[in-house]
Amino acid sequence: MHVPDGFINLPVSAAAGVVAAGGVAVSLRGARRELDERTAPLAGLVAAFIFAVQMLNFPVAAGTSGHLLGGALAAILVGPFTGVLCVSVVLLMQGILFADGGLTALGVNITVMALVTTVVAYALFRGLVKVLPRTRRSVTVSAFIAALVSVPAAAAAFTALYAVGGTTDIPIGKVLTAMVGVHVLIGIGEAMITALTVGAVIAVRPDLVYGARGLTAPLKLRVGGELVDARPAPSAAPAAGSPVAARSTRRVWATGLVTALVLAGFVSFYASASPDGLEKVAADQGIDKKTEEHHTADSPLADYGVKDVSNARLAGGVAGVIGVGATVAVGSGVFWAVRRRRTSGDSLPADPAGPAGSAGSVGGKA
């Protein structure tokens, strides 16, 4: 759903840029509460993983494909504020390096793909985990539903912006119906990817899933024929900054990075070549009549290829690997700086209770 230059006029694009900048500023401050010794090193990896999976367009209907937006996935894994930053870093890398998503439309893309998806998905996710049984399965189901809803919500947000600042005269009702309709289908793919990824991380390291914190069902002991809550054991978490704390995420980080590199460098070659939902609707409805050429269209990596490399498989693979590397580097730098600011005297309190109100990992079976 990367909006190119020319779909939305400059005044509305500028207004969306102000909204996006405000959202990023708030997220920078909020991320200081979310990032800790375990999640800070993983946040850049989450951004790189989203970049890689976004290269894997999947077919959703005749002549139409979709790809992950990533807001729900990022928010559940590392927190909503950090999630906004993850998706924003991805969009920035895509716009600058790969000419994907207009530069004057960067504010529109961050508003629609980072802010809307993350806010809608995490709000729905929080509501669901509060009413469902406190199990790993509930977290996965909640992630599925939240991701599914977040995609058509983003499509509706784009339509609202288009209604105010669209550069072509198209009946807004037709645009809304087409956008939401195709993005409901894309949302199913988004939901499957999100649920599978969240479920996989929970199965290995539930303590690293931000949205699963505080969902521990208390251990029951039978005393005198009655079940009572056992006294919680003292926390065995490694001290902040210790070598043990650093090593505790090293294997997960390495596995995630290798997975992202394989997806972007190899699997992406087999992705669907059909236009994505926005491109298809734009072509069918005439939204793209005033599309402008991207400002970095002559970039050596434009369109996820490598200039002067004629082999499409090699060019796409190398571009994907470069993209993953650049995203994890920039993302890690941003989150390291945010985390360092918190630990160097920031008075913001941490959030040890997590989003659900008490520390701990998820109980129950996946």
Quick: pLDDT tens for 136-176: 899 999 999 999 999 999 999 999 999 999 999 999 999 99
Q: Report the 10 Å Cβ neighbour count for 340.
A: 13
CATH code where residue 176 lies: 1.10.1760.20
Across the range 296-321, mean pLDDT stands at 93
Residue matched to tokens 């990896």: 45
Number of domains in the chain: 1
Beta bridge partners of 222: 227
The answer as to whether 2 is a domain residue is: no
- CA-nearest of 262, 140, 263, 158 to 206 is 140
Q: Is 349 within the bounds of a domain?
A: no
Tens of pLDDT along 271-308? Answer: 999 999 999 999 999 998 899 999 889 999 999 999 98
> What span, in angstroms and rounded, lies between the C-alpha atoms of 299 and 280?
25
Cα 99 from chain centre? 20
User: Of the segments 116-125, 287-296, 343-352, which one has the largest average pLDDT value?
Assistant: 116-125
Q: Kindly report which listed range (6-15, 65-74, 212-221) carries the lowest average pLDDT score.
A: 212-221
Contact present, 170 and 159 (Cβ < 8 Å): no
Q: Rg of the chain's alpha carbons, rounded to an integer? A: 21
| DSSP-derived 3-state class of residue 324 | helix
Question: For residue 28, is it within any domain?
Answer: yes
Q: Tally DSSP H helices, then E strands, for the chain.
A: 12, 4
Domain that holds residue 129: 10-212+248-343
Place of tokens 């949205």: 211
Tokens of 28: 């920078």
Which pLDDT does position 348 carry in this prediction?
46
In-domain check, residue 58: yes
Query: pLDDT category, 225, cuts 50, 70, 90?
Result: low
The C-alpha atoms of residue 167 and residue 174 are separated, in whole angstroms, by 15
The answer as to whether 182 is a domain residue is yes
CB atoms within 10 A of CB 193: 22
Q: What is the mean pLDDT of residues 24-30?
A: 96
Q: What is the pLDDT of residue 221?
A: 54
State the amino acid at position 87 in one-letter form. Answer: V
Task: Establish if 239 belongs to a structural domain.
Answer: no
**Angle formed by the axes of helices 136-165 and 10-34, to 10°?**
160
**Is 245 a residue whose pLDDT tops 80?**
no
Closest to 47 (Cα-Cα) out of 104, 130, 118:
118
Q: Which of 209, 2, 16, 206 is nearest to 125 (CA)?
A: 209
Whether residue 97 lies inside any domain: the answer is yes
Is residue 3 included in any domain, yes or no? no
Burial class (CB in 10 A: 0-12, 13-18, 19+), 311: exposed
pLDDT > 50? residue 64: yes
Helix orientation angle between 172-204 and 136-165, rounded to the nearest 10 degrees: 150
Ramachandran class of 55: left when φ > 0, alpha when ψ lies in -120 to 50, beta otherwise: alpha
**Is the pLDDT at 270 greater than 90, yes or no?**
yes
Cα 311 versus chain centre, distance? 31
- Rounded CA-CA distance 74/121 in Å is 10
* 8 Å CB contact between 62 and 22: no
For the chain, the average pLDDT equals: 87
Residue 240: pLDDT above 50?
Answer: no
The phi and psi torsions of 168 (rounded to 5 degrees) equal -125, 155
At 169-201, the pLDDT tens digits run 999 999 999 999 999 999 999 999 999 999 999
